[in-house]
Chain A
């Protein structure tokens, strides 16, 4: 199994809603990532979890709250988002063991629209 699975594929939410994005991998990877991608732009790193601990937060607003309940799951909790937060949210995972063979595997993303 070399897949990273993200749900839902599409999400429309109002600015007062609370929703969550989910990501799952069963490759035994110990690093997991959240990226935000606007149309026609490269992905922007938001968060990195290493061995279920938050290791990198790229100055992301607190309305985005990540959670890593176990080594296979990664959530992104959303609250009070703004229309400019509309984007494709990508999850990725990698071995995270510090060797030269590191590479990222990406999910298909959640297309989020904030109204």
Chain B
């Protein structure tokens, strides 16, 4: 079985300071991992995806994530937070089952950015 655990339900940072959103995964083989962002009352937007081609994955809006197999982690980072980054962030692991692709979502981390 595959799953992801987002370690923090809320993360609070000041504008201009670094962001770290933590995600650990559980998978019996090379996982398919994603980070999605959801702004209030909106759909989900793909930030980045781990494809096994590179352990450091660059995404949109200055976000990146590093895949660490030894730590079973896929943490999301950004060097400098912006007010517009305030949103809900979901770590997701995907798997194929019976011909269908099934994403499994973490519980989400709410990023709060203070001026």
Contacts and interface: CB of A to CB of B under 8 A. Distances in A.
A90 B51 contact: no
A42 interface: yes
Nearest to B104: A45
Contacts of B102: 45, 48, 56
Contacts of B107: 41-42
A42 B90 contact: yes
Interface residues of A, number: 29
Interface stretch (B15-23, B40-48, B69-77): B40-48
Interface in B24-71: 32, 34, 36, 41-46, 49, 51-52
Contact of A106 (B45, B100, B106): B45
Nearest to B30: A100
Interface in B90-105: 90, 94, 96-103, 105
A104 B103 contact: yes
Nearest to B94: A102
A61 interface: no
Interface residues of chain B: helix, strand, loop or mixed (majority): strand
Given A42-B107, A102-B32, A90 B44 contact: yes
B45 A88 contact: no
A55 interface: yes
A25 interface: no
Contact of A103 (B34, B41, B90): B34
A29 to B, nearest CB: 11
A98 interface: yes
A107 B42 CA distance: 8
A106 B44 contact: yes
Contacts of B49: 103
A50 B100 CA distance: 7
Contacts of B98: 55-56
A94 B105 contact: no
Closest 6 CB pairs of A and B: A42-B105, A106-B43, A106-B44, A108-B43, A55-B100, A102-B101
